[in-house]
């Protein structure tokens, strides 16, 4: 089991890397090294107040994002065009 990986993603564990916190100056290189940026958030008041930075940083290096349909993600991502919004309904 990959530490911190949700049970639902276990079958994909050989294809998922979980990276510890890195210096912000390393983020562009890290984002550029992945195929897809995942930004899952449970739809709560706290998470709706979070910014869209994860999407913006990945977009700057041409990496698509799959994000929760919560908060600012719904304002900046055109689902199916500039990313994919996923609803947990």
Dump the DSSP string for 8-73.
GGGGGGGG--------GGGHHHHHHT-S-EEE-----HHHHTS-SHHHHHHHTTT--EEEES-TTH
Is pTM beyond 0.75? Reply is no
Query: By the 8 A CB rule, do 31 and 37 touch?
Result: yes
Q: What digits encode the pLDDT tens for the residues 31-87?
A: 999 998 888 777 788 777 777 788 888 889 999 888 887 778 888 888 888 888 876
């Amino acid at each position: 089991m990959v530490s911190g990986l949700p049970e639902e993603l276990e079958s994909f564990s050989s294809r998922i890397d979980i990276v510890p916190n890195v210096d912000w100056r390393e983020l562009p290189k890290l984002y550029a090294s992945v195929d897809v940026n995942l930004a899952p958030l449970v739809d709560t008041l706290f998470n709706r107040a979070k910014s869209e930075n994860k999407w913006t940083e990945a977009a700057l290096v041409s990496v698509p994002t799959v994000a929760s349909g919560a908060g600012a993600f719904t304002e900046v991502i055109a689902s199916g065009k500039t990313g994919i919004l996923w609803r947990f309904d």
